[in-house]
Amino acid sequence: MGSLPSRHVTALAVLTGPIPKLGLVALAVLSAGAILARDRRVGAGSLLGAMLLAPVLLLADIWHSPQLSIVHRHPLLAAAGAAVALAVLVALAVVIVRRPALVAPLAVLALPFRIPIQAGGATSNLLVPLYLVVAAGAVAFVWSTRSGTAGDTRPSRITPDPGRPRPATSTRRPRGAILGPGRAGPRWIERLLAAYVVLYALQSLYSSDFETALQRMVFFYVPFALLFCLLRTLPWTPRLLRWCLGLVSALAVVCAGLGFVEYATKTLILNPKLVAANDVHTYFTVNSVFFDPDVFGRFLALVMIPLAAVLLYDKDRREQLAATAGLFVLWAGLVLTLSRSSLGALLVGLGTLAALRWPARRTLLAAAVVIGIGAAAIAITPNTFGLNQGANGASSGRASLVSGGIALFADRPAPGYGSGSFVHEYRAHNPGSSQTLSASHTIPITIAAEQGVIGEVIYLALVLVAAVVLIRGAGGEPARAALAAAFLALVFHTLLYADFLEDPATWTLLGIGVALAAGGWRAPKRAVTGATEAAAVTA
């Protein structure tokens, strides 16, 4: 067996040694520092450090992988592409420096889109548009802090009109602070988010799949943490909220329209695996621009919830008609996904809205009726829901993933097997399984198997604290009610599918929720309509 050249041995030692692991921990600390920082300059430094270190770690990890073969073969072309990307980033950052509130609608527009990047025979679906918005926003924030122009309140098309009365609670923050003192609840959300990110990095040190942990940190936790920091600094004015709801609703309608085209033509835009699955089933599922019907269904459900809030709180007939039309289109699109987890999430969100809007007795009665109808439908036609195939068949194989995850947790209950290790360990413990998986499809089980009791406690604390903070006092504020309902719907969906903090929607909801709960915006009575308030939610 031939030996590797010495330069390759040295490179391999560097990439598999302690340096990448220490770099990942440093990256997590910088991200946590950005989340927790109270001073603008400290926060800007943490943002900049995380933004620069993340691509360095990623490039070091994949430098010799097939994904970068084009870079090795055509370095000049790769350099030209990098220069173009940098120019676009700088141009967008300049625009955001002048109009900081643009970060919100740009992020809303970018949330759903994953770009398939093919290189060296491998394909990765990356949130490239969102990464661009986050990076530009972070650069703009750092530059504004350095030049002392942060907090520019010059009027723009999406900031309050100059003549409009200021909100009852001023959006002006203490000089040098990223976010005002606020209440203790939002601070605890930030602490738990920071703790989870740091813990994830620390537990990657003994993971059997460090590469997956690194990529999750670089592709998910770090950019989404920066997105959270950017969104919580914005003054969430009625006009900005209205713009975000309008954009995400229009985007959802377009995506649903693409789903209708897919269903009518029996062709899919993306995901060849789903094409093969549709060929062997009697039913046909759509995914629009998403790579998974469940992810598409989640997106539609989360958009439908604030539109439902418009119907519950707004008395303007035009607003209600527009919301009704949007709900009709999105409901049809959601049905075509055949995503049971998304339908359940929508019911949870609507139930939360009802509980915040009406007395508890009426809400419980309505919920009991809906549950009764659902139970009757299952009892009458059990085969429709796959119950004749057993728990594993009815759940599309997820029951075995859950039982396997529980077994992994039982083997190492305290530390877990390490961040990002679920797939590797599940296959190692179930060598005869042909299951295609990326996680247990039940977030608490995945966290328990990978991160043990420590990670599970932080996750549960984050969910409970966030739910309490978002719900408390939201009954009379439609914007916060929509946020709380969307968050609980998202949590429910993660119990049946996957991706909690790996989904940018979670960080977006929490970023806006922290800003509103901390007093970042509070509408004066009769100053804005319920529809305007209900716009405080994103995809």
Cβ–Cβ < 8 Å for 128, 89: no
Within a domain: residue 162?
no
Tell me how far apart the alpha carbons of residues 88 and 80 are, in angstroms, rounded to a whole number. 12
Cβ–Cβ < 8 Å for 437, 174: no
Within a domain: residue 204?
no
- Specify whether 265 is located in the same domain as 140: no
Partners of residue 123 on adjacent β-strands: 118
Cβ–Cβ < 8 Å for 529, 243: no
- Specify whether 259 is located in the same domain as 116: no
- Specify whether 422 is located in the same domain as 524: yes
- Specify whether 385 is located in the same domain as 276: yes
pLDDT of residue 379: 65
Within a domain: residue 189?
no
pLDDT of residue 292: 83
- Specify whether 148 is located in the same domain as 243: no
Q: Which domain holds residue 364?
A: 238-533
Cα atoms found within 13 Å of the Cα of residue 244, Cβ hemisphere only: 33
Within a domain: residue 528?
yes
Tell me how far apart the alpha carbons of residues 294 and 171 are, in angstroms, rounded to a whole number. 38
Q: Which residue type is seen at 385? A: F
Within a domain: residue 194?
no
Tokens representing 378 are: 């299952």
Domain boundary residue, one of 103, 123, 156: 156
- Specify whether 458 is located in the same domain as 355: yes
Cβ–Cβ < 8 Å for 300, 489: no
Domain boundary residue, one of 156, 188, 212: 156
* pTM for this entry: 0.83
Tokens representing 497 are: 């599918």
Within a domain: residue 332?
yes
pLDDT of residue 330: 95
Within a domain: residue 163?
no
Domain boundary residue, one of 156, 179, 202: 156
pLDDT tens-place values along the chain, 539 residues long: 444 455 444 444 454 567 888 999 999 999 999 999 988 889 899 999 999 999 888 888 777 776 677 777 778 887 888 899 899 999 999 999 999 999 999 999 998 888 776 544 445 678 889 999 999 999 999 998 876 654 443 333 333 333 334 443 333 443 333 444 345 678 999 999 999 999 999 999 999 989 889 989 999 999 999 999 999 989 888 889 889 999 999 999 999 999 999 888 888 776 656 554 544 455 678 888 887 888 899 999 999 999 999 888 877 788 889 999 999 999 999 999 888 889 999 999 999 998 888 876 766 776 677 677 766 766 666 655 555 554 444 445 567 788 888 999 999 998 899 999 998 888 888 876 655 565 667 899 999 999 999 999 999 999 999 999 999 888 788 889 999 999 999 999 999 888 899 999 999 999 999 998 877 444 444 333 343 344 444 33
Domain count along the chain:
2
Within a domain: residue 209?
no
SS (H, E, C) 62-122: HCCCHHHHHHHHCHHHHHHHHHHHHHHHHHHHHHHHHCHHHHHHHHHHHCCCCEEEEECCE
The three-point CA angle 124-488-309 to 5° equals 105
